[in-house]
Amino acid sequence: MYEMKQEYLTGIELIDEEHKKIFEIAESAYQLLHNELLPDKYDHISLILNELRDYTKKHFADEEAYMESINYKRMFTQKIQHQKFIEKLEEFDMDSIDENQDAAILDILNFLADWLIEHILENDKRIGEE
Ligand SMILES: [Fe+2]
């Protein structure tokens, strides 16, 4: 369902590899949503969210370092967007997640997929055009 596509490529190998990994995390959330054999998904949701938080932080740091290395002029806009994404991720609260687990996974997925795809297409691809 969620995977890296040709149209998302920025042409910068490290960034593309890291975006691919984020799509893999999204895919694992999607698989979890559709897993009917698991009565309690709480621990799995928590693991995925933690992985997503850790990995996006690493990715943003790498991407920002790359932008800095080429003196990218839109870096400030990028940094603000990255920061907002991290803040939003911190807002997912594990207590409310327990009440309706599938709805929580769906929320995370929708947010992640919408943000990621739009951000890559609107912003990250421009870095590769510099
Ligand atoms: Fe970015």
Going from the Cα of 56 to the center of ligand 1, the distance in angstroms, rounded, reads 10
Going from the Cα of 122 to the center of ligand 1, the distance in angstroms, rounded, reads 9
82 vs 72: CA distance, rounded Å = 15
In the chain, what are the domains?
A: 11-129 (1.20.120.50)
Going from the Cα of 21 to the center of ligand 1, the distance in angstroms, rounded, reads 14
Q: What is the pLDDT of residue 92?
A: 84
Going from the Cα of 92 to the center of ligand 1, the distance in angstroms, rounded, reads 21
70 vs 87: CA distance, rounded Å = 27
Q: What is the pLDDT of residue 65?
A: 98
Question: What number is the average pLDDT over the span 31-42?
Answer: 92
Q: What is the pLDDT of residue 27?
A: 94
Going from the Cα of 18 to the center of ligand 1, the distance in angstroms, rounded, reads 11
Q: What is the pLDDT of residue 24?
A: 96
Question: What number is the average pLDDT over the span 23-51?
Answer: 92
Q: What is the pLDDT of residue 99?
A: 79
3-state SS, one letter per residue, for the chain: CCCCCHHHCCCCHHHHHHHHHHHHHHHHHHHHHCCCCCCCCHHHHHHHHHHHHHHHHHHHHHHHHHHHHCCCCCHHHHHHHHHHHHHHHHHCCHHHHHHCHHHHHHHHHHHHHHHHHHHHHHHHHHHHHC
In the block, residue with structure tokens 């996974």: 105
Burial level of 67, CB count in 10 A (0-12/13-18/19+)? buried
Higher pLDDT, 63 or 106: 63
- Asked if residue 45 lies in contact with residue 106, where contact means CB atoms within 8 angstroms, the answer is no
Q: What is the pLDDT of residue 53?
A: 93
